[in-house]
Structure 1
Amino acid sequence: MSINSLKEVSRLMKESISLSLPSKPEYVSIARLTSSAIANSMGFNIEDIEDIRLAVGEACNNAVLHGRNGDSNFNINFTIYEDKFVIEIFDEGKGFEIEKCPEPDFSNPKESGLGLFIIESLMDEVEVISSPGEGTNVKMIKYLND
């Protein structure tokens, strides 16, 4: 990326907020509430705010479930741009091979395994980077529509 491209990204970025939360289920609500408050302040409509809140909750639940279960933290970066909201959730858990992640079977639903499908359904862009033994990074983007 060129210096001019980096300057343009910096110009468009308004603020960045980071949280480090214990890998325990009771802290997921803090991430959901924070994402809702930021999305509201950016001017998202109520449907988009609820989509963001639910996607953040799913990603954080995955970080807690598949992370190191209470003996470490998971991290969240909220980045506010003029036209979009970027949320990244990192855990230092066991990771997984994304290519081997099965598609949901709606004819034989299970209680788990829908998290990534839900996140991808609710957000405009989703990128998952994970490697066995190295944790997972889920990056979600929701664009602010006029």
Structure 2
Amino acid sequence: MATVELRFSALPEHVRTARLVAAAVARRAGVDEAVLDEVRLAVGEACSRAVGLHELHGVTAPIRVVLIEDEKKFSIEVSDEAPHAVTIGAPGAGSGAAHIPVPVTPDEAAAEEDDEMGLAVISGLVDDVEVSADETGGVIRMSWPPTTPAPVL
């Protein structure tokens, strides 16, 4: 299993670099050429979302992108350190779940709508996607099956 980790300042101009690195590593992992555009778009959307969240909340920590290549799948994790709304309690539990939102300003409400649109785009591009978040940050995990054997290096 090979792993590449990329960290970049939460600036929009670094998103392009993350897309290019993700496409290069995906190609090396054996992801089908026809799917590489989806990889680029999904990574770009996830990184743009993370940059926007960092800018909105004044987070200076870097965005983290981890590219994991193994025999069964190629995975990408995009992590941010921005606060997200938190749900307490398990859904369906007897006491019910309580949703405790982070305080919302008009700018944050607009950003939340953009965030939901970005997640919808990612879900449309990637069959295997998982989003998790809490008050300390969030992670988008995406994966694609390789269609060709990865080259031995």
By the TM > 0.5 criterion, same fold?
yes
Number of the residue aligned with 1:9: none
Superposition map of 1:85-100 within 5 A: 85-97=74-86
Match of 1:142 in 2: 144
The answer as to whether partners of 2:75 and 2:141 remain within 8 angstroms in 1 is yes
RCO higher in 1 or 2 (8 Å CA, sep ≥ 6)?
Answer: 2
Instruction: Return the match for 1:83 from 72, 90, 96.
Output: 72
SS at structure 1 position matched to 2:120? helix
**Displaced runs of 4+ in structure 1, greater than 6 A?**
none
- Per the normalisation by structure 2, the TM-score is 0.71
RMSD of the alignment, in Å?
A: 2.2
SS at match of 1:82: coil
Partner SS for 2:129: strand
- One-letter amino acid of the counterpart of residue 87, structure 1: I
Q: Deviations over 1:37-93 (max 9, x none)?
A: 011122322321000110000000010001255722110110001131110011111
With normalisation by structure 1, the TM-score equals 0.74
What one-letter code is carried by the residue in structure 2 that aligns with 1:24? Answer: L
- Percent identity at matched positions? 31
The structure-2 alpha-carbon separation of the partners of 1:116 and 1:97, relative to structure 1 and needing over 3 Å to count, comes to farther
Q: Which has the larger radius of gyration?
A: 2
Stretches of structure 1 that go unaligned for 5 or more consecutive residues are 1-13, 101-110
- Tell whether the 8 Å contact from 1:66 to 1:95 is kept in structure 2 after alignment: no
The structure-2 alpha-carbon separation of the partners of 1:45 and 1:26, relative to structure 1 and needing over 3 Å to count, comes to same
How many residue pairs end up in the alignment?
122
Within the candidate set 38, 44, 50, 2:25 is matched to 38
